[in-house]
Amino acid sequence: MRMRQWQKPFWTPLRPLEDCGTRYNPSMRAQVVQAIHDAFHPSKVDDENLKEVDGRVFGSAKVIESPVFDGLDDARRQRLFWEHLIKSLGSESTNVGPVILEPTSRG
């Protein structure tokens, strides 16, 4: 017997994303966070305000407890972050940002 749409298990994907004719990369946000980790080796990245809309990742991330990050000015932080971003995303990097990298005080 054929199942109705509402009877299908809720986790059944109707169509894989790559078939939707879009370049949407579901892991891009994760790769942005990974690039922050690789660049600054923080104890944690607070990515609550990092958004992903229509395949574009933007917003801000807090880099928590990173001596590397704390030792650089804003321009050099962005330089290092992008270096790692380009390594992992290549030309897709233009779907990222700008990402504001925020410091956090250790209290």
Partner 1 sequence: MRGTLDALRQSLPQLIRVAAEKVQSQFVWRVDGSVYQYTHFKTLREMLGGPIIKPPDVAKPMSELWATSSVHLNDTNEFDRGREVVEAVLSELPDDKITSRMRLAVRDADALEVYCTSFSGVDDDLSQWRGYGGDGSGVCLEFDLGRLIAGLDGVGYWLIYGKPGNEATQRAVAKELVRYIHASIQTALPSPTVPGAVFNEVREQLREIWPALFLAFKHLDFSAEQEFRFVYSAAVGGRRTPAFRPDPLVPFVALRMRPSGPLPIKGIRLGPAVGSSANIRSLELALRELKLSHVTVSRSDIPYLPR
- Residue with Cβ nearer partner 1 (42 or 95): 95
| Closest approach of partner 1 to the CB of residue 57, in Å | 10
Of 34, 37, 38, 58, which one interacts with partner 1 (CB under 8 A)? 58
Contacts 24+ apart (CB under 8 A), 21-27: 22/55, 23/55, 23/92, 23/95, 24/54, 24/55, 25/55, 25/92, 25/95
CA atoms lying within 13 Å on the CB side of residue 24: 12
The window from 21-29, 30-38, 52-60, 62-70 that contacts partner 1 (CB under 8 A) reads 52-60
- Tell which one of 5, 7, 43, 94 touches partner 1 (CB under 8 A): 94
Q: Is 79 in the site for partner 1 (CB under 8 A)?
A: yes
Pair 45, 33: CB distance under 8 Å: yes
Closer Cβ to partner 1, 42 or 85, answer by number: 85
